[in-house]
Structure 1
């Protein structure tokens, strides 16, 4: 473990956020307020005991996590709620130094409230454009399928995402419990998305091991893998990920909160970085886990001893792996160099 070389402000480090779920991005105060306005009863775990104690490595634990998530989703009932969520998410990203937010959403989770899949996606895309104008944070959308549902549902979402490729949708994902749907079953949906020019970014290697990650590479041609941390259990797979330049979206506080690792220092962040694996730090669902993006970089610094040059490289990795326009990537990479070139004691407050 290295000793950090300085303490440049992490909220001034330009970065991209590539692993943030739509409902899970909500501020806790907003959850409580919208529940009151929309007549939704929140369980104690989402009020007095927030953030809730979670452990999802067994099915009962995952069910509890999913139940809390579904309750949180249920407070989003009006178009103005969706606009508010995205505006506040963009504000939080700006405060964290993130100039690109790639937020993932399964439109089918809201379709019954907002007149169907297409109308829901268009509502979210418009909310993203408004949030961009109001905050200066650029936003791309990942349409994400649910691996606990039928692969034909994923194909429908992929066709929908294809219609909006280049119009705000930049990537296609696959989320939920890996134990209930293998990546290979969704190859057809990802083929549709890839042919539309969308990045392939399925979850894998969180609740299951290397095989899950390998299927994301072999069957879904993943550009990024959500989590992917358990690839560390197969050295040959780690070498392959590094050689192919597939980015792992690592979410430290999420991995501990859900029981993937018992303690932060057990997370293989340093080992994967040392092996040359591209890494994009993310938060997953700060509504349920608490810490947001700057805290993930602080964990890299304080728990794993990442120096400022290494933190800058983590930020560059997130930018390079994003679906941001090339012009924005170039600008942000230059800003990272500026952050690193400016001594800590000379940076403005």
Structure 2
């Protein structure tokens, strides 16, 4: 079968701290004299129940990792390594998500924190041959006024290229906060031309998806997998053209589905939804981007043609320029045009290889 690491694709759902390599986390913990929970360094993917207690444990582990990122150098290292890892897996476009609030105390405020990430994204893009853009995200755990502050900050750096802010998100436990109260923040972001990319439809079901669609008017939905539970909600997503950032490993890790086979990937694709596979938080869930495509291939039986369609979907759902999209889509076509190594090869009379399809 064709090498999925060579399949051009876009990565639209990757969190800043969650992108960290385990080795990097260990280095930073030693540097800053932080004692880490064993679950962060034992190389065992996180498996939790989809309960408030399960989320609480996930959040504590995430916070423990985030506590190791304490300087501009640390932040730059994370962006550079995320770009390098994505480039090695065929990603030509990474839209990494960051809430600058957590890193602000170490670098002089939320504005310097955003500027560090943006500059690091520009440098990493040039170094690794990948476009790295940024989604600024607010948290449901904080006051909606904080979200408006972040939306205004994100709007100042709006663009579509490397080292620019392309979207505004809303993350953390979907069961927290009043979705409608975050609407004004998304209005601010939308007026600046930013994509609205809130989380929704992972821990809560289709009713929550419907609420997010109504109150936040998303362009993309982080997760959104549980829209498959209501055909009417899924139909609305398709009609609106809302892309779904589907993260198989984290859905299993957080107990939304017990096994990868339960993920309704086929249902979403068959309904016409625009699906972009993502890794979410590789640090905690133990797998990066290519592994999500491997899951689609081995667990759900996606052919190379169907995997190429997923890659195209990720590119089209990105906020990359028309030129970048065209280049990546051409690369997908070229990948699919290559002979499948698994197909038998015979020799013609002229000793030229002929692939038997």
Residue 184 of structure 1, CA deviation: 1.7
Deviation string 1:194-237 (CA, Å, 9 cap, x unpaired) is 00000010000010011221122111110100000111111111
SS at match of 1:304: coil
- Equivalent pair of 1:9/1:344 in contact (CA under 8 Å): no
* 2-structure distance, mates of 1:344, 1:272: 26
SS at match of 1:324: coil
2:323 to 323, 327, 333: 327
Residue 300 of structure 1, CA deviation: 0.4
1:289 aligns with 2:285: yes
* 1-structure distance, mates of 2:326, 2:198: 26
For the pair shown, which has the larger CA radius of gyration, 1 or 2? 2
- Equivalent pair of 1:182/1:212 in contact (CA under 8 Å): no
**Aligned residues: CA RMSD:** 1.2
1:229 to 225, 228, 247: 225
TM-score (ref. length: structure 2) = 0.93
1:50 aligns with 2:46: no
Is the deviation greater in 54-63 or in 170-179?
54-63
* 2-structure distance, mates of 1:62, 1:50: 20
Alignment correspondent of 2:344: none
Alignment correspondent of 2:11: 17
* 2-structure distance, mates of 1:101, 1:280: 12
Alignment correspondent of 1:201: 197
1:189 to 185, 197, 219: 185
Deviation string 1:121-160 (CA, Å, 9 cap, x unpaired) is 0011111111111111111100000011110000000000
1:177 aligns with 2:170: no
- Equivalent pair of 1:204/1:228 in contact (CA under 8 Å): yes
Residue 92 of structure 1, CA deviation: 0.5
SS at match of 2:255: coil
Alignment correspondent of 1:162: 155
Alignment correspondent of 1:82: 75
SS at match of 1:149: coil
Is the deviation greater in 149-158 or in 74-83?
74-83
Structure 1 gap ranges (5+): 1-6
* 2-structure distance, mates of 1:56, 1:26: 23
1:140 aligns with 2:156: no
SS at match of 1:239: helix
Structure 2 gap ranges (5+): 342-353
Runs of 4+ in structure 1 deviating by more than 4 angstroms, as ranges, are none
Residue 339 of structure 1, CA deviation: 0.8
Residue 45 of structure 1, CA deviation: 1.4
Alignment correspondent of 2:23: 29
* 1-structure distance, mates of 2:30, 2:254: 28
1:125 aligns with 2:125: no
Alignment correspondent of 1:315: 311
* 2-structure distance, mates of 1:51, 1:197: 40
1:150 aligns with 2:143: yes
SS at match of 1:180: coil
TM-score (ref. length: structure 1) = 0.95
